[in-house]
Amino acid sequence: MGKMEAAGGLAVTTGVDVNAAVDRLKADDVPARVAAKDATLWGPEAEAEAAIRLGWVDTFVQSKELVEPLAKLRADFAEQGIDHIALAGMGGSSLAPEVISRTLDLGISILDTTDPGQIVAELGEASLRRTAVVVSSKSGSTVETDSQRRAFEAAFKGVGVEDSAKRFVFVTDPGSALEKLANEQGSHLFLADANVGGRYSALTAFGLVPTALAGADVAELIEQAEEFATTIQSEGDNPALVLGAVIAAKPTITIADDGTGVVGLGDWAEQLIAESLGKDGKGTLPVVLEGPAAAGAGGADRVYATVGGSSTGLPTGSALAMPDVVVNGPLGAQFLAWELATAYAGYLIGIDPFNQPNVTESKENTNRILADGLPEERPHAVDGAVEIYGSHADTVAGALGEVLTNADREDAYIAVLAYLDRIDDAAVAGLRAELAERTGAPVTWGWGPRFLHSTGQFHKGGRQTGVFVQLTGEVGEDLVIPGRDYTFAGLQAAQAAGDRQALESRERPLVRFHLTDRKHGINQLLHAVRELS
Ligand SMILES: O=P(O)(O)OC[C@H]1O[C@](O)(CO)[C@@H](O)[C@@H]1O
């Protein structure tokens, strides 16, 4: 399948012709300049941010200091009968732990949501008694994370857990409100390297604290990164350089696990690529696939990547869609390789890979809605358990048909944004592949509010060709957020409405399906899409 470059335990094999881009990166000395943390590389406007965001290039070496204290804390927890880890965190503060947890089968509960049902499900008494909660936030002020922390605190107290502050492990940057709170209430505290942005923080305290507490051998992950780091400036095989050129090569990159041992890296890489590269009206759109050769994997406008743990570089994808690039190697090496590659792609595309200028807009809209109330909206039509907004159609099938028509133009992509429970409502994600089968456009799936910290940046800051489908749903059991005058359902609805306003202000088509009964509504959506040709 074209050429393979392998070094430091990781192999990148690709049929995409990236020779010119790789030559440019080499001629401009980009690998050496990134290794030397040269903040001038992405231009004068990016310099100030880059100066405080390049720590990830080697900070994993310092991360070794975490290994012993984390082993001790895990043993202390075990002595107290605490053997389950829940993680409250969004975006870069939870996506790397999720990949590590899935790859090593650690069973960490990741709460990157405001869906009340998903949170209530974590608060059962039996599970609470054996749970420690890692609260991870670089800024210390992310609303979802803060709300989740408050819910756990109240729940621990509610079931009579003594000294509940000691059930919390905070991971944050020095000087944040979370650091202050940890010190005030006596919770466990791990401070992260402030010179690493959230999406580049996999091998810092953010990636390692929750996973080590759940039993991961994080020393091994660090060693894998260290081995791979020896290749950064290689004049010979340089897999990260090739991967960077591949990421920059086409408007879209689709990503699937190849089934050889790294599970779910696509969700993490999605945030890294979307927030780093989706801005200034350009960038690469990442699309996470359900598996090898899923619908919409390949196409002239996209690079299809598979990721696996085996270092043989042999793809296991079906003959239906052979990958354009195969990235094989252990997880620690994968993290560093994709981070380097994204920074290189930013250089090639001419984008600052360290800021996320459009993320705040939806957050500000949400805050305003929480203060002033939800905007008055009436559905255009009601079809069974589904209210339809933002469409001229009277049926779900008709409205989905409009989505396909809107996406029937060069450069368009479809984004389905589901503010639902990604565990209980998981079946609805089948909509992505169904839409992908029926259109030539890339189709990306996002669970709200999780995607707001990932592809949300691209949708508002990248190429303005998105066709959006927003899904919201009635809530069964709501949950108060202690100390706040809104509930989780209120926050979730305000986030959906805030993002809707941000997208609509760009005059992008957005149809919203509100499920008045989630199970029935999901069945209806899936049934309706299958009726479309
Ligand atoms: O770790 P924090 O500060 O809670 O931020 C979580 C996420 O929110 C963002 O800042 C913006 O969406 C991401 O870049 C980040 O990973």
Q: What is the ipTM of this complex?
A: 0.98
pLDDT in tens, 79-99: 999 999 999 999 999 999 999
Whole-angstrom distance, CA of residue 265 vs CA of residue 102: 9
pLDDT in tens, 489-511: 999 999 999 999 999 999 999 99
pTM value > 0.90? yes
Residue whose CA lies nearest to ligand 1 atom number 8: 453
Whole-angstrom distance, CA of residue 257 vs CA of residue 305: 9
Residue whose CA lies nearest to ligand 1 atom number 4: 137
CA–centroid distance, residue 261 to ligand 1 (Å) = 28
Residues facing residue 514 across a β-bridge: 387, 472
Burial class for 132, CB neighbours closer than 10 Å (0-12, 13-18, 19+):
buried
* Phi/psi of residue 251, nearest 5 degrees: -65, -20
Is the CB of 149 within 6 Å of ligand 1?
no
CA–centroid distance, residue 266 to ligand 1 (Å) = 18
Percent of the chain with pLDDT over 70: 98
User: Does residue 360 carry a pLDDT above 60?
Assistant: yes
Q: Which of 49, 90, 267, when mutated, tests ligand 1's pocket best, judged by the most ligand atoms within 8 Å of its CB?
A: 90
- The mean per-residue pLDDT over the stretch 22-36 comes to 98
Is the CB of 198 within 6 Å of ligand 1?
yes
Dihedral, 519, 271, 9, 316 alpha carbons, nearest 10 = 40
The residue with greater pLDDT, 107 or 1, is 107
- The mean per-residue pLDDT over the stretch 257-262 comes to 92
Residue whose CA lies nearest to ligand 1 atom number 14: 198
Nearest atom in ligand 1 to the alpha carbon of residue 452 is: 12
Q: What is the pLDDT of residue 311?
A: 52
Whole-angstrom distance, CA of residue 520 vs CA of residue 284: 35
Tokens describing residue 309: 């743990």
Q: How confident is the model at residue 293 (pLDDT cuts 50, 70, 90)?
A: confident
Least Cα distance to 121 among 420, 421, 419 occurs for 421
- The mean per-residue pLDDT over the stretch 194-215 comes to 98
Is the CB of 137 within 6 Å of ligand 1?
yes
Distance from chain centroid for Cα 526 = 25
Nearest atom in ligand 1 to the alpha carbon of residue 89 is: 4
Least Cα distance to 454 among 255, 261, 304 occurs for 255
All domains of the chain, ordered by start, with CATH? 3-47+225-349 (3.40.50.10490), 60-223 (3.40.50.10490), 359-531 (3.40.50.10490)
Residue whose CA lies nearest to ligand 1 atom number 7: 91
Q: How confident is the model at residue 312 (pLDDT cuts 50, 70, 90)?
A: low
Residues in the chain, overall count: 533
Nearest atom in ligand 1 to the alpha carbon of residue 92 is: 16
- The mean per-residue pLDDT over the stretch 378-400 comes to 98
8 A C-beta contact, residue 114 and residue 491: yes
Q: How confident is the model at residue 243 (pLDDT cuts 50, 70, 90)?
A: very high
The H or E element that residue 248 is part of is helix 239-249
Q: What is the pLDDT of residue 322?
A: 85
Whole-angstrom distance, CA of residue 225 vs CA of residue 332: 5
- C-alpha radius of gyration, the chain, whole number: 22
Beginning with the edge strand found earlier in the chain, give each strand of the sheet holding 443-447 in spatial order.
381-383, 386-389, 510-515, 466-473, 413-418, 443-447
Is the CB of 263 within 6 Å of ligand 1?
no
Is the CB of 91 within 6 Å of ligand 1?
yes
Is the CB of 207 within 6 Å of ligand 1?
no
- The mean per-residue pLDDT over the stretch 426-455 comes to 97
Whole-angstrom distance, CA of residue 454 vs CA of residue 369: 22
Determine the angle formed by the axes of helices 331-349 and 19-27, rounding to 10 degrees: 80
Q: What is the CA angle 57-58-62, rounded to 5?
A: 145
Is the four-CA dihedral 163, 167, 171, 176 of positive or negative sign?
negative
Question: What mean pLDDT is reported for the chain?
Answer: 96
Q: What is the pLDDT of residue 317?
A: 46
Is the CB of 99 within 6 Å of ligand 1?
no
Q: What is the pLDDT of residue 346?
A: 98
Helix, strand, coil: what percent of the chain each, to 5?
Answer: 45, 15, 40
Q: Say which residue the tokens 């909660």 belong to.
A: 133
Is the CB of 366 within 6 Å of ligand 1?
no
Q: How confident is the model at residue 30 (pLDDT cuts 50, 70, 90)?
A: very high
Percent of the chain with pLDDT over 90: 95
Pairing of strands 466-473, 510-515: parallel
Is the CB of 272 within 6 Å of ligand 1?
no
Is the CB of 92 within 6 Å of ligand 1?
yes
Nearest atom in ligand 1 to the alpha carbon of residue 145 is: 4
What secondary structure does DSSP assign to 192-226, as a single string?
A: PPTTS-GGG-TTSHHHHHHHHHTT--HHHHHHHHH
Q: How many CB atoms lie within 10 A of CB 406?
A: 19
User: Does residue 103 carry a pLDDT above 50?
Assistant: yes
pLDDT in tens, 334-357: 999 999 999 999 999 999 999 999
Residues facing residue 86 across a β-bridge: 109, 133
Tokens describing residue 385: 């358990």
Least Cα distance to 515 among 403, 437, 409, 420 occurs for 420
Between 172-181, 190-199, 279-288, 290-299, the lowest mean confidence (pLDDT) is in 290-299
Residue whose CA lies nearest to ligand 1 atom number 16: 92
Whole-angstrom distance, CA of residue 274 vs CA of residue 462: 8
Q: How many CB atoms lie within 10 A of CB 448?
A: 23
Q: Which of 56, 93, 114, 271, when mutated, tests ligand 1's pocket best, judged by the most ligand atoms within 8 Å of its CB?
A: 93
- The mean per-residue pLDDT over the stretch 14-22 comes to 96
pLDDT in tens, 35-63: 999 999 999 999 999 999 999 999 999 99
Is the CB of 142 within 6 Å of ligand 1?
yes
Is the CB of 495 within 6 Å of ligand 1?
no
What are the distances in angstroms from CA 182 to CA 71, 144, 208, 307?
Answer: 20, 18, 19, 38
Is the CB of 139 within 6 Å of ligand 1?
yes
Is the CB of 93 within 6 Å of ligand 1?
yes
Q: Say which residue the tokens 């079906």 belong to.
A: 318
Is the CB of 266 within 6 Å of ligand 1?
no
Is the CB of 360 within 6 Å of ligand 1?
no
CA–centroid distance, residue 373 to ligand 1 (Å) = 25
Is the CB of 138 within 6 Å of ligand 1?
yes
pLDDT in tens, 136-183: 999 999 999 999 999 999 999 999 999 999 999 999 999 999 999 999
Q: How many CB atoms lie within 10 A of CB 68?
A: 10
Is the CB of 275 within 6 Å of ligand 1?
yes
CA–centroid distance, residue 232 to ligand 1 (Å) = 27
Tokens describing residue 294: 């899923």
Whole-angstrom distance, CA of residue 292 vs CA of residue 107: 24
* 3-class state of residue 66 by DSSP: helix
Least Cα distance to 276 among 186, 368, 174, 345 occurs for 345
Q: What is the pLDDT of residue 321?
A: 63
Residue whose CA lies nearest to ligand 1 atom number 9: 453
Tokens describing residue 319: 């003959």
Nearest atom in ligand 1 to the alpha carbon of residue 90 is: 6
Between 16-25, 356-365, 419-428, the lowest mean confidence (pLDDT) is in 356-365
